[in-house]
Amino acid sequence: MKTIIRDCRALLPDGEGLRLEAADIVIEDGAITAVAAANAAAAGPGDKIIAGAERLAAPGMVNAHSHSLSIFQKGTSDRFGHVSLLWMNQADVFGRPDDELYAGAVLGALEMIASGVTSVIDHFPEQNCRTEMVAPVAHAYADVGLRAVVGMRIWDRTYDDLDLSQLEGIDDDILAAVGENDPFKPRPLDEIAAMCEETIAKWHGHGGLVSIFPAPSNPTRCTDELLVKAHDIAEKHDLGVHTHLQESRIQVDVSMKYNAKPIVAHMEDLGVLSRRWSLAHTVWVNDDEIALLAERQAVPVHNPESNAKLRVGTSPLPKMLAAGVPVALGADGSSTNDNQNLFDAMSMAVLIPRILGTDEAGWPGAPEAFAMATRNGAKAMLMDGRLGAIAPGQRADIVLYDLASPSLAPLNDPLQQLVFCERGESVRTVLIEGNVVYEDGTFAFGDAAEVARQANEMRQKQLGRNETLYRLAGQLAAAQGKAMT
């Protein structure tokens, strides 16, 4: 049986851009098999017809950097710096049971789907990953029907960018207590490598939607041996590698301390820098590093909202795009951004360079923003050519928007209106792998209100845990005027 989206207005590939065209979209076995003229696709007995009149069909967006563990933390971190935020994250998430891991991933997935996101890269968890931790989130994404990469967060070196000894105002008893139960404690390389192989064997491909990537926390938090091992595992299984990279200024200093050069150049020297790597934030990169990223087609993931909220700086987006770097887009965790809505991220990505006064000729616009959220996000997931466009051969991840909604009526320029007007209120139907997972406010998964009720109950339990970490984070937040960011 086929699914046919009949007589929609579709954003179709047109060279490097998109064109708007009345069309029928034909879907079989989770893939787009044809894009025909409006009302021209033949339907057979039992075929599913989705009415596309007054609907704008667009490729689903890719949230190329998120943290499901922080979904419960929206509205908790205003005016935090980077250091205090990371410790608050640990206070919130350390020791979570499986039911909370599952519920957080479900809640985030529902939020994303309702705002037109059909794929996510989840850098998981906030601690060094273990195979048993992955099971709840893999089940959650498969149950909801969201396409997801679960990036196994790993490190085998200390978090030098969180060195508490350099901060003032922290009680000695707190430092001693944290030292005994440090959630940022590294693990041995051989143990990490075995965990990665076991997790890939158990969960890669789960439900036809879940992929498993090795995901170093940050290259400066990893030995060279671990970076090479992550790259080798990815090569062996044809996977990507996901990481944070130079989010804060101090991470540049840490790389100089260990490597006597910036981290991108060091990764090139190790022979690991490639298109397999997606690099969240990539704020503090210089021109030579940008040239390397372009040459190797590694994928920086721009997170404009969390960068601004944590005041770590902003990515040199115009320079990277001008150099041919395939920049993707992320929402980051809800503790640092408060939402998983890529419409906000798209608009901020193109507006911040204008606020900063960079050269007008280098300003990215709506087409670049939408490409970051779709086509380049597919590259971050290692699915370029299979995701991010409405075209034969692509997976059928499609969002239908209501052309009668205030954001899109009258329709002057669909890309500009998606980037600058829309915030998700026009989303009416979402298909992932050809399956309708959301329609007119209802999720195929089930009752979203019940998920929210459970989340509220779970949040109260979380606040009763990890007292020492909460005290530490509170003191860091109070002293952040003197703290590293």
pLDDT of 483: 40
End-to-end CA distance of the chain: 55
Q: Which two tokens stand for residue 409?
A: 């009526």
Alpha carbon separation from 82 to 45, 86, 250, 275, 419 (Å, rounded): 57, 6, 11, 28, 28
Quick check: 336 and 374 in contact, CB under 8 A? no
Q: Which two tokens stand for residue 399?
A: 């969002």
Identify residue 399 by its one-letter amino acid code. Answer: V
Cα gap 440→354, rounded to integer Å: 36
Cα gap 400→53, rounded to integer Å: 10
Cα gap 124→302, rounded to integer Å: 18
Cα gap 318→372, rounded to integer Å: 12
The domain limits of the chain are 3-59+389-443, 61-380
- Top CATH class of 61-380 equals alpha beta
Starting at the earlier edge strand, list the strands of the sheet with 299-302.
241-245, 277-281, 299-302, 328-329
Alpha helices in 310-389 (DSSP H): 317-322, 342-356, 366-373, 375-380
Quick check: 293 and 320 in contact, CB under 8 A? yes
- Top CATH class of 3-59+389-443 equals mainly beta
| Helices and strands (H, E) in the chain, number of each type | 17, 17
Instruction: Say whether 339 sits in a helix, a strand or coil.
Output: coil
Element at 331 (helix H, strand E):
none
Quick check: 475 and 169 in contact, CB under 8 A? yes
Per-residue pLDDT of the chain (485 residues; tens, 9 = 90+): 999 999 999 999 999 999 999 999 999 999 999 999 999 999 999 999 999 999 999 999 999 999 999 999 999 888 877 777 777 888 888 889 999 999 999 999 999 999 999 999 999 998 999 999 999 999 999 999 999 999 999 999 988 876 665 556 667 766 666 666 678 889 999 999 999 999 999 999 999 999 999 999 999 999 999 999 999 999 999 999 999 999 999 999 999 999 999 999 999 999 999 999 999 999 999 999 999 999 999 999 999 999 999 999 999 999 999 999 999 999 999 998 999 999 999 999 999 999 988 666 678 999 999 999 999 999 999 999 999 999 999 999 999 999 999 999 999 999 999 999 999 999 999 999 999 999 999 999 999 999 999 999 999 988 888 887 787 777 767 765 434 33
Q: Which two tokens stand for residue 171?
A: 């009680």
Q: Which two tokens stand for residue 74?
A: 């929206």
pLDDT of 402: 98
Cα gap 55→462, rounded to integer Å: 42
pLDDT of 24: 98
Quick check: 395 and 31 in contact, CB under 8 A? yes
pLDDT of 228: 98
pLDDT of 411: 97
